[in-house]
Amino acid sequence: MKIVDKYITAGFIWPFLYCLIVFVFLYMVSDVLSRIDTLVKQDIPFEVLKSYYFSSFPMVIVQTAPFAMLLATVFLLGNLNRHNEIIALRASGVSTLRIISPLLIIGLAISLGVFLINDRFVPQASVTMKMVDDLYFRKYKWERNQQIENVTIFGKDGRLFYARTYDIKNKVLHDIVLLEHDKNQVLKRKVTAQRMEWTGSKWRFIACDVFRFDKEGNVLGKPAIFRTPKIIQFNQKPEDLLKEQTQPEFMNYGQLREYVRILDLESKSTARKLLVDMYYKLSVPFTGLVIMLIGIPFILKRTKTKAIGSAGIALAISIIYYVVNAMFLALGKGGIIPPVIAAWAANVLFAAFGIYLIGKLRV
């Protein structure tokens, strides 16, 4: 690595880390202040609070990394402009693309890191935060909310359970799909039912159909159809459904992909909405890189006396990016455009716009 690359890398990394630390600190302070009455009244143990806020770190990093990347870019290039270092580099024959190439490489690396955090750590951390929120911050939530939707449980025994709605008070589930896989994740049995009721010790399936499959995925024989109540082994108790259910926002990419595949058999509209979320899990980590591409040409184009104005323009365009992105996501979930386009359109359009502006800079 050349001296210039090391200089630019160090000038970016440290401001980026400082911004992340500040954002995490501000989040914790604002969240504590917003919950101060609850914290005092409920007398929540310190260990619980520590677990809650420690679990919030991955989510905060994913959400604030793009702005930290933009601010670090503004700080670095602003400093280079202020000390006429960019002019000196250009005068010595170093092109604009060569100057910003370390930034783009770092931005790509950070984006990949954000993807790993978002896929590996955020889902489980979100589950922990929700449990603390339900048990301590919002006591008696389940008594107030008598019905939940899209109950999903990924069992360790190869079972995947889905119910469209769950009536908590009456312990009744509607529109059930139960899939059983072997140890090689090959589907061997599928159970569907209109209703599922708790008898006090077991679950009773109503309007139930049972399908069996061979290793190639073909149905073995005729499905078993039960129009009278049928008892089928299902180990989870009603309270387990609340503890073990996995909502789509708490799934990683692989789990959500399997979830969408199952829902596609039962509800095309719900599957389409979740398909947008699935593709968005792949595109959202690259938001920071896109915002960097937008900000770089404005910062480089301005003189050192206009650094604040260039940063403001870059920030404004970044806000427009989020608005446009939200619009595309809404169009995708509404079925107007394909899910993959809805998730990636804003990234592609604004990245192309940023690359175009960079190309117009003097090389």
Give Cα 105 distance to the centre of its chain. Answer: 23
**Residue 126, pLDDT score:** 84
Phi, psi of 240, rounded to the nearest 5 degrees: -70, -30
Give tens-digit pLDDT for 269-284. 667 788 898 999 999 9
80's tokens: 């280079």
Give tens-digit pLDDT for 91-134. 887 787 888 889 999 999 999 999 999 998 998 888 788 777 76
**Residue 139, pLDDT score:** 55
Task: DSSP for 84-152, please give it.
Answer: THHHHHHHTT--HHHHHHHHHHHHHHHHHHHHHIIIIIHHHHHHHHHHHIIIIISTTHHHH--EEEEEE
Q: Going along 91-186, which residue ranges are E strands?
A: 147-154, 159-167, 172-181
Do the Cβ atoms of 182 and 188 come closer than 8 Å? Answer: yes
Residues 6 or more apart whose CB falls under 8 angstroms from that of 246 comprise 127, 152, 153, 154, 255
User: Which candidate, 307, 253, 255, places its Cα nearest to that of 281?
Assistant: 253
**Residue 158, pLDDT score:** 64
d(CA 208, CA 191): 7
**Residue 143, pLDDT score:** 44
CB atoms within 10 A of CB 347: 20
**Residue 151, pLDDT score:** 79
DSSP state of 302: S
- Where the chain has pLDDT below 70, the residues are 1, 134, 138-146, 155-158, 185, 242-248, 262-270, 302-311, 362-363
